[in-house]
């Protein structure tokens, strides 16, 4: 056996170090080439570092939260030879076929009873239930003690469906009404993506002079168009939500207000106005908020925008998004989806200067030509960096966006 020192490789242009988020191996584990060893958070994205050898882990360097410079020792392996994968063995020759046995008397087939699904029992009071951060957050909001929930995932991991089943069965009510005082405290280190979110939000809130602007939009005609296009789309085309239309309307509005599609470099004292529109899409994942990017939204249509939305947000949630897919946005759209809410004051995605937040479309009673009618209404909220964008110009951008959404034919002109 020989020792092989695995050093942190270069994981992207300009990346000089990475923060350990999660170890996937420990001393004593046997790993194969390309098996993921550790998850690292860089300045740009979370990346999984794969093994380059076959071998046994002797030692690892660092714990979650530690910063590891590129080129420094990460893992020591015991390897055979150079640790390269062994060649595939030659296939054994197939044996000569045996003569067929004499036919037997027919017997009734025995039907095997399928085994009952295995459901893990609730964990004991001394252990911490396995669940993603998103499931834990939902449980806290619902007043549910996860130690009372049976998990159906691997090793008893509790899923969203498990939590829904528990709540629908009255578990939440029982937990709230039992009168049991909870005293436990969970410690959650602020590392990886959560640390990066905290840093970016703090920088944006501290440095940018935020001002916010609220408007409501009548999307009745847009809803009619959306339903019509969905009813006539081909099987290869994606189902349209409001978001692809909003992205394309924003692209058109930016043509009149290019100062809103910009990056502010505070150290250089320079604003970079981009001709290309790279739209960041705020996306909630199990690990926290990520902003995958639709690149060159000005060069694609509504259908392609819908495809890109699904592709980049799915990649972010599945942790397969590349650094390129998670960087380079010039303006961001954030949406709370069906939850919507009436309004918000979104924090600008630093170092951008503009962000638009969309909320749920709901039927409302409004006055049109002196008559009370029901229309499909949606609230838009936005924030701008007042150091770069005057309030008047920010408001005009939103008014232009409102005009196109209320007259959706103009989105395609």
- Per the model's pLDDT, the better-predicted residue between 49 and 275 turns out to be 275
Q: Are the C-beta atoms of residues 28 and 81 closer than 8 Å to each other?
A: no
Which pLDDT band holds residue 107 (cuts at 50, 70, 90)?
very low
Q: State the pLDDT at residue 96.
A: 56
CATH code: domain of residue 31: 2.40.50.100
DSSP 37: E
Using alpha carbons, list the distances in angstroms from residue 316 to 28, 133, 311: 32, 16, 9
Is residue 412's pLDDT more than 70? Answer: yes
Is residue 224's pLDDT more than 80? Answer: yes
> Is 142 part of any domain?
no
pTM: 0.69
Provide φ and ψ at 347, rounded to 5°. Answer: -90, 130
Q: State the pLDDT at residue 230.
A: 96
Q: State the pLDDT at residue 259.
A: 98
Instruction: Average the pLDDT over each of 9-18, 29-38, 238-247, 301-310 and give the range with the smallest value.
Output: 9-18
Q: State the pLDDT at residue 170.
A: 64
The whole-number average pLDDT for the span 244-265 is 98
Query: Ranked by mean pLDDT, which of 117-121, 237-241, 386-390 comes out on top?
Result: 386-390
**Cα–Cα distance between 133 and 131 in angstroms, integer?**
7
Provide φ and ψ at 361, rounded to 5°. Answer: -85, 125
CATH code: domain of residue 395: 3.30.559.10
Pick the closest to residue 300 from 236, 244, 238 (CA basis): 244
The separation between the first and the last C-alpha atoms of the chain, rounded to the nearest angstrom, is 69
DSSP 213: E
**Burial class (CB within 10 angstroms; exposed 0-12, middle 13-18, buried 19+) of 398:** buried
> Is 381 part of any domain?
yes
| Residue-wise pLDDT tens digits, 201-217 | 999 999 999 999 999 99
> Is 193 part of any domain?
no
Pick the closest to residue 78 from 173, 178, 6 (CA basis): 6
Q: State the pLDDT at residue 173.
A: 46
> Is 144 part of any domain?
no
Task: Give the number of residues written for the chain.
Answer: 413
Is residue 251's pLDDT more than 80? Answer: yes
> Is 221 part of any domain?
yes
**Burial class (CB within 10 angstroms; exposed 0-12, middle 13-18, buried 19+) of 114:** exposed
Which pLDDT band holds residue 15 (cuts at 50, 70, 90)?
confident
Between vectors from CA 280 to CA 247 and to CA 48, what angle results, nearest 5°?
140
Is residue 253's pLDDT more than 80? Answer: yes
| Residue-wise pLDDT tens digits, 118-155 | 444 555 445 678 888 778 878 887 788 888 888 888 77
Q: What is the CA radius of gyration of the chain?
A: 28
Between vectors from CA 181 to CA 176 and to CA 182, what angle results, nearest 5°?
90
Q: Are the C-beta atoms of residues 355 and 347 closer than 8 Å to each other?
A: yes
Q: State the pLDDT at residue 374.
A: 98
Is residue 157's pLDDT more than 90? Answer: no
The answer for residues whose C-beta is within 8 angstroms of residue 4's C-beta and 6 or more apart is: 53, 55, 76, 77, 78, 79, 82, 83
Pick the closest to residue 387 from 257, 278, 291, 270 (CA basis): 270
Is 386 catalytic? The answer is: yes
Q: State the pLDDT at residue 385.
A: 98
| Residue-wise pLDDT tens digits, 159-199 | 888 888 888 776 654 445 567 788 888 888 888 888 888 99
Domain range for 271 is 210-411
Whether residues 258 and 397 share a domain: the answer is yes
Q: State the pLDDT at residue 364.
A: 96
> Is 299 part of any domain?
yes
- Count of structural domains within the chain: 2
> Is 192 part of any domain?
no
Percent of the chain with pLDDT strictly greater than 70: 86
Instruction: Average the pLDDT over each of 14-28, 235-249, 271-285, 392-406 and give the range with the smallest value.
Output: 14-28
Residue where a domain terminates, one of 61, 79, 97: 79
| Residue-wise pLDDT tens digits, 317-345 | 988 888 889 999 999 999 986 777 889 99
Pick the closest to residue 389 from 331, 326, 327 (CA basis): 331
Q: Are the C-beta atoms of residues 221 and 291 closer than 8 Å to each other?
A: no
Pick the closest to residue 404 from 233, 251, 207 (CA basis): 251
Q: State the pLDDT at residue 172.
A: 53
Whether residues 220 and 72 share a domain: the answer is no
> Is 91 part of any domain?
no
Q: State the pLDDT at residue 150.
A: 85
Residue where a domain terminates, one of 37, 58, 79: 79
Which pLDDT band holds residue 102 (cuts at 50, 70, 90)?
low
Q: State the pLDDT at residue 27.
A: 93
Strand partners for 373? 366
- Per the model's pLDDT, the better-predicted residue between 22 and 99 turns out to be 22
Residue where a domain terminates, one of 23, 49, 79: 79
């Amino acid at each position: 056996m020989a020792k092989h020192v695995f050093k942190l490789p270069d994981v992207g242009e300009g990346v000089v170090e990475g923060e350990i988020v999660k170890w996937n191996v420990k001393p004593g584990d046997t790993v194969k080439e390309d098996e993921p060893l550790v998850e690292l958070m860089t300045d740009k994205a979370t990346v999984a570092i794969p093994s380059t050898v076959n071998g046994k882990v002797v030692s690892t360097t660092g714990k979650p939260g530690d910063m590891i410079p590129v080129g420094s020792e990460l893992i020591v392996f015991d390897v055979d030879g150079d640790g390269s994968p062994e060649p595939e063995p030659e296939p054994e020759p197939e044996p000569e076929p045996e003569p067929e046995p004499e036919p037997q008397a027919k017997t009734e087939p025995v039907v095997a009873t399928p085994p009952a699904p295995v459901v893990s029992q609730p964990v004991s009071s001394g252990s911490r239930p396995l669940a993603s951060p998103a499931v834990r957050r939902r449980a806290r909001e619902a007043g549910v003690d996860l130690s009372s929930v049976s998990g159906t995932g691997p090793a008893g991991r509790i899923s969203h469906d498990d939590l829904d089943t528990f709540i629908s069965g009255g578990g939440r009510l029982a937990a709230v009404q039992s009168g049991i005082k909870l005293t436990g405290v969970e410690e959650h280190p602020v590392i990886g993506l959560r640390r990066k979110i905290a840093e970016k939000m703090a920088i944006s809130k501290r440095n940018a002079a935020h001002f916010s602007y609220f408007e409501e939009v009548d999307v009745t005609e847009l809803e009619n168009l959306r339903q019509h296009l969905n009813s006539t789309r081909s099987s290869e085309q994606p189902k349209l939500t409001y978001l692809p239309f909003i992205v394309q309307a924003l692209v058109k509005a930016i043509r009149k207000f290019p100062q809103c599609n910009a990056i502010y470099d505070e150290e250089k004292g320079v604003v970079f106005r981009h001709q290309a529109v790279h739209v960041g899409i705020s996306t909630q994942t199990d690990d926290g908020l990520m902003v995958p990017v639709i690149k060159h939204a000005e060069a694609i249509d509504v259908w392609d925008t819908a495809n890109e939305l699904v592709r980049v947000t799915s990649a972010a949630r599945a942790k397969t998004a590349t650094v390129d897919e998670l960087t380079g946005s010039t303006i961001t759209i954030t949406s709370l989806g069906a939850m919507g809410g009436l309004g918000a004051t979104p924090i600008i995605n630093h170092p951008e200067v503009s962000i638009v937040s969309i909320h749920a479309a709901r039927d409302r009673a409004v006055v049109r030509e002196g008559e009370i009618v029901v229309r499909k209404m949606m609230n838009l909220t936005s924030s701008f960096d007042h150091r770069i964008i005057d309030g008047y110009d920010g408001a005009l951008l939103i008014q232009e966006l409102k005009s196109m959404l209320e007259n959706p034919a103009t989105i395609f002109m």
